[in-house]
């Protein structure tokens, strides 16, 4: 089973205290790619980097994890984006970004769109996010949608994590139009209730999702924080309670790791509620560690046991 993700990785600067910080790398679809790879699905990352030493370190780190890098475009003279994370005592995060010149934003320019489209079609499963959509600008988005429609026609399963960040969009109406364009090509949607309400408004996340998606043809997962996750798939409704966590250290990559375990379990043939429990199981471990990627030694051994 060939799996690919589309998006961006950035240099991450995480405050350790008021004076000191730690450098690493991060990005939502990268986090999902690493966890998918650890769960037995070596994943190709479709993106672009510069030719600087930070980009070289990223490639080395991805290769070490087993993430496939053959679809990474190297753009001479460019630098990857960067962001700073400040984490509050209760584990919540604040982000500051420097990413307007990131080479990942140019994979759907006219010169690069054909090469990127080939990479997206040459897979069995393609994963992307709302953050992915926010990267490309109007012209790039329409080339992306054309690529997704082509991939969908060829039988590629398209998985979308809403991961909506208002600050990444120039206008809410543009975001809504971009999300609406996906409705006919996505096979699985992983949505957060807060994301959904921020994007579509109202006070009922399920109703908003039903207005956007055809639940008969799309598998829909609605994550609701500490409340039961709900899933609509195969003409039925499922629910899965989250794992109890005594002390949250850092919520970074909670949704990304859930997505990886859910998708891995479904690709193994697990039922939707079993897959959601796998997602909760991995996310519960991830949020007990600082940073997006936990040590390999901390990976729970029974994530996919029920599947």
Rounded to an integer, what distance in angstroms lies between the CA atom of residue 21 and that of residue 128? 29
Listed by start position, the domains of the chain span 3-8+28-49+66-75+108-298
Count the alpha carbons within 13 Å of 199 in the hemisphere toward its beta carbon: 29
Domain 3-8+28-49+66-75+108-298 is found in CATH 3.40.50.970: no
Alpha helices (H) along 17-105: 28-38, 53-65
- Cα dist from 28 to 18, 164, 212, 268, 305, whole Å: 26, 11, 23, 23, 25
Instruction: Kindly state the DSSP code that residue 281 receives in the 8-state scheme.
Output: H
Q: Catalytic residue numbers?
A: 256
DSSP E strands in the chain: the ranges are 3-6, 10-15, 21-26, 43-49, 72-74, 82-87, 93-98, 125-129, 157-161, 188-192, 219-224, 227-233, 236-240
Q: Output phi, psi for 282, to 5 deg.
A: -70, -45
- Can you give the pTM of this predicted structure? 0.93
Strands 72-74 and 43-49 come out as: parallel
Report the alpha-carbon distance of residue 263 to residue 272 in Å, rounded.
10
**Residue 18, pLDDT score:** 73
| pLDDT tens, N- to C-terminus, the chain (307 residues) | 999 999 999 998 877 777 888 888 889 999 999 999 999 999 999 999 999 999 999 999 999 999 999 999 999 999 999 988 776 776 666 778 888 889 999 999 999 999 999 999 999 999 999 999 999 999 999 999 999 999 999 999 999 999 999 989 999 999 999 999 999 999 999 999 999 999 999 999 999 999 999 999 999 999 998 899 999 999 999 999 998 888 888 888 899 999 999 999 999 999 999 999 999 999 999 999 988 899 999 998 766 654 4
CA atoms within 13 A on the CB side of 116: 28
Specify the pairing of strand 125-129 against strand 227-233.
Answer: unpaired
Q: How far does Cα 298 stand from its chain's mean position?
A: 21
pLDDT score of 252: 83
pLDDT recorded at residue 16 = 75
CB of 41 closer than 8 Å to CB of 265: no
| Beta-sheet pairing, 188-192 with 157-161 | parallel
The reported pLDDT for the residue numbered 307 is 44
């Amino acid at each position: 089973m060939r799996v690919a993700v589309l998006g961006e990785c950035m240099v991450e600067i995480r405050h350790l205290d008021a004076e000191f910080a730690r450098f690493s790398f991060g990005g939502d679809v990268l986090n999902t790619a690493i966890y998918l790879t650890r769960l037995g699905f070596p994943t190709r990352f479709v993106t672009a980097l510069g030719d600087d030493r930070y980009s070289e370190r990223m490639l080395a780190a991805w290769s070490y994890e087993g993430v496939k890098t053959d679809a990474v475009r190297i753009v001479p003279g460019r630098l990857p984006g960067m962001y700073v994370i400040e984490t509050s005592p209760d584990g919540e995060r604040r982000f500051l970004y420097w990413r307007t010149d990131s080479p990942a934003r140019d994979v759907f320019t006219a010169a690069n769109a054909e090469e990127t489209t080939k990479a997206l079609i040459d897979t069995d499963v393609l994963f992307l996010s709302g953050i992915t959509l926010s990267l490309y600008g109007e012209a790039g988005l329409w080339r992306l949608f054309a690529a997704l429609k082509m991939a969908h026609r060829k039988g590629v399963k398209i998985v979308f994590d809403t991961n909506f960040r208002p600050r990444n969009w120039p206008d809410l109406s543009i975001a809504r139009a971009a999300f609406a364009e996906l409705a006919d090509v996505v096979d699985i949607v992983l949505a957060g209730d807060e994301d959904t309400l921020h994007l579509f408004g109202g006070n009922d996340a399920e109703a908003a999702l039903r207005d956007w998606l055809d639940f008969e043809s799309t598998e829909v997962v609605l994550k609701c924080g500490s409340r039961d996750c709900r899933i609509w798939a195969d003409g039925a409704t499922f629910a899965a309670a989250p794992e109890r966590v005594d002390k949250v250290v850092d919520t970074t990559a909670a949704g990304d790791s859930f997505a990886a375990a859910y998708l891995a379990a479904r690709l193994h043939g697990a039922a939707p509620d079993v897959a959601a429990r796998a997602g909760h199981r991995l996310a519960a471990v991830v949020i007990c560690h600082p940073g997006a990627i936990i040590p390999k030694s901390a990976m729970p051994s029974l994530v996919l046991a029920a599947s």
